[in-house]
């Protein structure tokens, strides 16, 4: 059931790869809440063709953009404004990729060229998206931008590898650009720090099954699902969260503030 929280709002959703993607679930929720959408992903991801199913379901055009490429982003924003017949109200940045993880390099043996690419795709791309919107004055006042992050930005999860550094940078860009965009246009910028979730990007983390069940046991509410995350994104895009900006918002069933749980103690006593 929808609440019309996004009625009349227009948004760009980056990063829907397949139906497991958090961006995919968020697009469906935004549509259900009355938003008009444009979907975007890297040209190589579009070639998989899956996104066309989502495009049909949410009646949105798909416009390819490599999020590290400023010309692609300019084209995406210009075409989106043309499609909407006006400015944009919200953006979901749901993008992450680690070249070192993909190629099996341990954190201590990092390849720095790959690392630069990882940081560009997973973190500086948020700056590039915001900068493009800023240059084109593409966002309406009180617009809302959300990027997805993980608690490895604050605490060590060894196998999260260089993505921990990427997420720290992403959260920092969120605060820094959020300040300037807030002053200029009352645009808000936040990150949502999501529980581990079974998606293509998520499953790339070594030992993901152990990771996900540990988090489940360490969270009083259990892990937040992709659908739960999509709902939270809707709230952040809506006028119900107008004064929230420059924040890293934990969406993890309480994991981030739990020292230990009874379930973990019992496991240790076995």
Ligand X SMILES: NC(=O)c1ccc[n+]([C@@H]2O[C@H](COP(=O)([O-])OP(=O)(O)OC[C@H]3O[C@@H](n4cnc5c(N)ncnc54)[C@H](O)[C@@H]3O)[C@@H](O)[C@H]2O)c1
Q: 7 or 206, CB closer to ligand X?
A: 206
Q: Which residues pair with 266 in a beta bridge?
A: none
C-alpha 201/C-alpha 24 separation (Å) is 13
Toward ligand X, which CB reaches closer, 96 or 178? 96
Percent of the chain as helix, strand, coil, to the nearest 5: 50, 15, 35
Per CB under 6 A, residues contacting ligand X are 15, 17, 21-23, 41-42, 45, 66-68, 94-97, 121, 148-150, 194, 196-197, 199-202
Could you tell me the smallest distance in angstroms from the CB atom of residue 185 to ligand X? 24
Q: Between residues 61 and 86, which has the closer beta carbon with respect to ligand X?
A: 61
Q: State how far the Cα of 124 lies from the Cα of 119, in Å rounded to an integer.
A: 6
Q: Which two tokens stand for residue 75?
A: 């084209």
CA diameter of the chain: 62
Report the alpha-carbon distance of residue 181 to residue 140 in Å, rounded: 11
Min dist CB 173 to ligand X, Å, is 13
In the bound state with ligand X, the residue whose beta carbon lies nearer, of 4 and 213, is 213
| Shortest Å distance, C-beta 221 to ligand X | 16
Buried b (16+ CB within 10 A) or exposed e, 92-129: bbbbbbbbbbeeebebeebeeebbebbbbbbbbbbbbb
Min separation Cβ 194 and ligand X, Å: 4
Nearer to ligand X, 143 or 202 (CB): 202
Minimum CB distance to ligand X, residue 105 (Å):
18
Could you identify the residue written with the tokens 């200029």? 184
Give the HSE-up count for residue 248: Cα atoms under 13 Å, Cβ half-sphere: 20
Determine the residue with CB nearest ligand X.
202
Least spacing, CB of residue 33 vs ligand X, in Å: 19
CB nearer to ligand X: pick between 111 and 140: 111
């Amino acid at each position: 059931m929808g609440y019309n929280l996004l009625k009349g709002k227009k948004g760009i959703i980056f990063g829907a790869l397949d139906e497991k993607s958090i961006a995919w679930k968020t697009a469906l929720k935004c549509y259900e809440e009355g938003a008009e959408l444009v979907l975007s992903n890297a040209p190589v991801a579009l070639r998989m063709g899956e996104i066309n199913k989502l495009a049909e379901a949410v009646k949105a055009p798909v416009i390819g953009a490599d999020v590290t490429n400023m010309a692609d982003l300019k084209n995406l924003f210009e075409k989106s404004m043309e499609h909407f017949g006006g400015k944009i109200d919200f953006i979901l940045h749901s993008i992450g990729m680690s070249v070192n993880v993909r190629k099996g390099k341990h954190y201590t043996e990092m390849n720095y060229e790959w690392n630069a690419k990882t940081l560009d795709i997973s973190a500086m791309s948020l700056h590039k998206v915001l900068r493009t919107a800023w240059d084109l004055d593409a966002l309406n006042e009180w617009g809302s931008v959300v990027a997805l992050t993980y608690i490895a930005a604050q605490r060590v999860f060894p196998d999260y590898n260089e993505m921990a550094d990427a997420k720290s940078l992403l959260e920092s860009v969120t605060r820094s650009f959020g300040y300037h965009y807030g002053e200029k246009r009352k645009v808000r910028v936040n990150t949502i720090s999501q529980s581990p979730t079974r998606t293509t990007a998520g499953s790339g983390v070594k030992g993901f099954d152990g990771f996900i069940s540990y988090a489940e046991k360490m969270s009083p509410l259990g892990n937040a699902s992709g659908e739960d995350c999509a709902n939270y994104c809707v709230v952040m895009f809506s006028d119900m969260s107008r004064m929230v900006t420059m924040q890293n918002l934990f969406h993890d069933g309480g994991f981030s503030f739990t020292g230990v749980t009874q379930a973990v103690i019992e496991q240790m006593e076995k």
